[in-house]
Structure 1
Amino acid sequence: MILKITQAINENLSVNELLQQYKQILFNELKIGKIAVYKLNSHWEKLLVSGISQECIDQIKIDDHLSSFTEITYVSQELPKVFWAFDFIIPIFHKDLILAYILIGDIDEEMEGMSPAIKHLSFIQTISNIIIVAMENKQLYKQLLIQEAFKKEMELASRIQNLLIPNQNSLPQNQCVSTCAYYQPHFEIGGDYYDFINFNDHELGFCIGDVSGKGIPAALIMSNFQATLRALFRPEKPLDELMIQLNQKVCEHSISEKFITFFIGIYNYKTRKLKYVNASHHPPMLYDFESGKTSYLKKGCIGLGMLDEIPRINVGETLVTKHSKLLCYTDGLIELERDDRMEVGMQSLTNIFTSSKNINDTFTDLIKHIDMGKENKVVIDDISLFGIEFNKPST
C-alpha cells in the first residue's frame, strides 16, 4: 500500500486524485469507516469527510477543539463530545509545524475483535503523513512556479521600462550641455520617469516625474504618461497649454488617488533661456559656478491629476548664466526612513551639489550618497535624478 501511494505521488496526480487513493486504502483495504481530514493552508479547510454526518462535522472548531493535540490521541469520554463519533485524533507535522489533523473511526461500533482503527493505527499515521506532506509539497511547488512566472514577468517589465528611460549613452552631450542621470526603482519597476528630447539644433526639452505610490500600479501610469508626453511635447506649444492637456490625460487614465508630481523645461542653447513649469515637484536646483549662488525652480502649478482642472499655471523663465549646473530629482533621493521616522536629507544633497565640481564628478558623489543610504536601509522609494551642466555656447 505504501508503494501504491508512492506511485500515485510520483505520477504527479492531482490533490483530489491523491485524496481518492488515500480514501480507497483506508476504507476498502484497512476497513476504516469514518474519516475527516483538516489541512492548514492560509486557513483550515476540510479536505476529506466521509462516513460521518455533516451535523457532526460542523460542530468541530479547529482552533477551539483541535489545536491542543500534538500526538495521537484516543477519543475517550473525557474529550469534548464533538469527537465521540471518532476513535482517534492524529496530528500531522512537518518540520515541527502542524499541517493537518486526521480524525478516524469505525462504522460498526459493535464489531467483535480488534478495531481496524487500532490495528492499523501506526500504518494510518504513516500514509496520512506521506499524503499530507505530498500535498503540501505540491502546493509549495505550484506557488514556486507562480512566483517564478511572476519574477520573469517583472524582469521583462523592468527591461521594457528601462528602454523607456534614457541611458547614459543616449543623454545629450554637446558643446552647450553635459548631462548625467541615475535611475533606481525601489522594486523591479517603479513610478519615476525622466526624459530628454532634442527638438532641433538649438532647443532641448527635458522633464522628470514621480507617480504617487510604488510598484506596478505606479509603473503602468507612468508608462502611459510617457507615451502621452512624447506625443504632445513640442517646442512651439506653450507650456501652460501642454500642462492642461497632460492633466486631462492623467485624470482620464489613473485612479482617483494617484497623481503625478512633474517638472518640465525647454532650454534654448542660443538665448540661454530656460522656460519651465513645476507641478508640485521638488524644485530643481540651479547652481551658478561663478557666483556660488543657488536658485530653485518653483514656479508652476498643482500636481497632475490632483484636480480635474488646474486652477492656475505660472510658467517660469530664467536666464542661465555663463557656467551653471542643474539638478532635477525625485523625492526618493531625500526622503529617508530612520527608526520608523521620516527624514528629509535636503542639506546633504545641497552640500554635495553646490560645489565647484563638474556634473560628472558631482554625480559620482551623489551616487556614493545613494549607495550609502541603500546600505543603511534608509532608502524607501524610487530614486531618479539627472543633472545638466550648461557651458558657454560656441560662437
Structure 2
Amino acid sequence: MSFASSKRLKLSTFKLNALLGMAQAISGEMRTEDLMERFRIILNDDLEIDRIAFFKFENKWELLLSTNCCDGLESQINVEEDLLPFTDISFVSTSENRTLQEFDIVIPVIQNNAPLAFILIADTKDLAKGVSATIKHLNFVQTLSIIIFVAIENLRLFHKTLEQEAMKKELELASKMQNLLIPNQDNLPQTPEVQIHSYYHPHSEVGGDFFDVITLDKGEIGFCIADVSGKGMAAAILMSNFQANLRALFTHDITLTGLVEKLNLRVMETAKGERFITIFIGRYNPTRKSLEYINAGHNPPVFFDSETGQISFLKNGCVGLGMIDEIPVMNVGSLRVTSPSKLISYTDGLVEFAQDNKVVLDHSVIEDCIGNGQSIKENIENIVQIRLEQEESKQIEIFDDISMLGFEFK
C-alpha cells in the first residue's frame, strides 16, 4: 500500500471512529460543554480547522463555541440578519459583514424548514501545502455537526424530561401534603349547639386554600379559613407550617389579636416576604353565645340571622399575614348569636370567576342560598350545585380553588 493510500485510510478510519464516538455520546451523560470541547478538539487539533463558531437556537440564538475568533463575536454577527439567509452550505468569505469574512464556510442545520444551528469554520493557516482543510473535510464536518446538534438536543430533552418528572413528583407530594392538611368532613367536630359542614375543590392539582376547626377548652370552637398566595410545593410548605403554628398557638387563653400577631410573625419568618396568607379566624363560645373574629384581608364571610332575616358580611380585621412585619391596626369583630343563625366562610374561587371575558365578583349565590330554613349542609351543597351547573353550561369559567366552611348555630 502506498504512503498516500495509507494516509487516506488512516484519516478515513479516524473520521469513522470520531463519528461513532460522537454517536455513542448521544446516549451518554455528557454535558453540552463536553460535547463542544470534543468538537473543538477534532476540528482544531485533528483536522487543523482552527477557527470555529457554533450558533444554536433555543428560545434565542446562542454562541456555544468560539475558537480563534475576534472578541465580541456575538455582537458582531447577527444570526437573524447575517446567517438565516443561508439554507445550504455556502462560502461566506465574500459576505458584506466583515466579521463573517473571517470565516470560509457556513454549515446550516435545518429541520422541518427551520434553521436550528449554524456552524462557521475557517482554516487560517498557510495554504501552500494544498487544499484548505475546510474544503478537504467539509462533508465530514457537516456530518459531525449534525451529530453534535442531535446530541445536544437529546441532552436538552433529557434534562427537560427530568425537570418535568421532578415537577410532577413535587406536585404529587404537595397534593398529598395538602390533603393531609384539609380536614375530612367526618373529622369536623359536631355538637348539639353547632353543626359544621365543609367543601373543598382545588382548581389545579395543588391548590392554595386551607381551613381547620379546633376544639378548645370549655367547649369553645376555634376555626380558620385561609388562602395562600401562589401554588405548588412552596405554598404547600407554607400552608403546612401555618397549620402547625395555628394548632400550637390557638388555645382557650390566647386573645385573637395576640394569636394573629404571632401567626403573622411566623408567616414572615417562613415566607420572608415572598408570599402572604389571607385568613378569616374566629372563636365561638356556645355558653355565652358569642362569636369573635378577625378578618385578615380575606373574603368577608356571610352571616345570616334566621330570626331577623338579616344578612351581614364579617369584615372587621386587618391586612393579610406576611405582608408587613408588624400589623399597625387590628379590629376584632364580635357577634351575639342569640337566635338560630348560619355562617359561611369561603375563598375567592367561589365568588370570583370569568364571565364574558371579564372577571366578575359576585356574592349573590351565597346570599340566595343561606337565607332559608335549610341546614348549612344543604346550603353548601346547593351553592356547589349552582356553580357546577353554571360552569358546565359555559355561563362562567372558574379559575381558582373553591373552599367553604359553614356553621349552623342552634
| TM-score band w.r.t. shorter chain | 0.7 to 0.9
Q: Distance in 1 between matches of 2:207 and 2:245?
A: 18
Residues of 1 paired with 2:400 and 2:290: CA distance? Answer: 33
Q: Tell me by how many angstroms 1:136 deviates.
A: 1.2
In structure 2, how many angstroms separate the alpha carbons of the residues matched to 1:355 and 1:244? 37
How many angstroms apart in 1 are the aligned matches of 2:346 and 2:92? 68
Aligned residue in 2 for 1:82: 99
Cα distance in 2, alignment partners of residues 344 and 141 from structure 1: 44
**Deviation per CA, 1:291-318, whole angstroms, max 9, x where unpaired?**
6442333334444455514434234122
Q: After superposition, what is the alpha-carbon deviation per residue over 1:241-269, rounded to whole angstroms, capped at 9, x for unaligned?
A: 43344344445554447544322222234
Partner of 1:129: 146
Return the offset for 1:101: 0.9
Aligned match for 1:311, one of 313, 322, 329: 329
Q: Distance between the aligned counterparts of 1:302 and 1:334, measured in 2? A: 20
Secondary structure at 2:24 match in 1: helix
CA distance in 2, matches of 1:318, 1:14: 68
Residues 379, 216 of structure 1: alpha-carbon distance in 2 compared, 3 angstrom cutoff:
farther
RMSD, matched Cα = 3.2
Displacement of 1:325 = 2.6
Specify whether residues 357 and 317 from structure 1 end up closer, same or farther in structure 2 by C-alpha distance, changes over 3 A only: closer
The question of 1:208 aligning with 2:225 is answered: yes
After superposition, the Cα gap between the structure-2 partners of 1:105 and 1:369, relative to the gap in structure 1 and judged at 3 Å, is farther
The alpha-carbon distance between structure 1 residues 373 and 159, as it changes in their structure 2 partners (threshold 3 A), is farther
TM-score, normalised to structure 2, is 0.81
Aligned equivalents of 1:273, 1:56: Cα separation in 2: 74
Q: Does 1:53 align with 2:72?
A: no
Deviation at 1:143, TM superposition (A): 1.9
| Contact residue 207 and residue 231 of structure 2 kept, 8 A | yes
Q: Which amino acid aligns with 2:332?
A: N
Tell whether the 8 Å contact from 1:93 to 1:129 is kept in structure 2 after alignment.
Answer: no
Q: Does 1:7 align with 2:13?
A: no
Identity %, equivalent residues: 41
Is 1:381 the counterpart of 2:400? The answer is yes
Residue 290 of structure 2 contacts residue 334 of structure 2 at CA under 8 Å; is this kept in 1? no
Please, which runs of 5 or more residues in structure 1 have no aligned partner?
none
1:162 is the counterpart of 2:179:
yes
**Partner residue, 2:117:** 100
Is the CA contact (8 Å cut-off) linking 1:214 and 1:381 kept in structure 2? no
Checking the alignment, whether the CA contact within 8 Å between 1:297 and 1:316 is kept in structure 2 is no
**Contact (CA 8 Å) 1:9, 1:18: kept in 2 or not?**
no
For 2:388 and 2:206, the matched residues in 1 are separated by 18
Q: Cα offset for 1:365?
A: 2.8
Question: 2:55 corresponds to which residue?
Answer: 38
Shift of 1:137: 1.4
Q: How far 1:74 sits from its partner (Å)?
A: 1.8
Amino acid at match of 1:385: M
Unaligned runs of 5+ in 2: 1-15
CA positional deviation for 1:56: 8.2
Which residue is 1:183 aligned to?
200
Q: Report the count of equivalent residues.
A: 389
Matched residues in 1 for 2:112 and 2:72: separation?
A: 31
1:390 aligns with 2:409: yes
Give the superposition deviation at 1:155.
1.7
Q: Tell whether the 8 Å contact from 2:202 to 2:402 is kept in structure 1 after alignment.
A: yes
> What secondary structure sits across from 2:186 in the alignment?
helix
Q: Distance between the aligned counterparts of 2:256 and 2:111, measured in 1?
A: 64
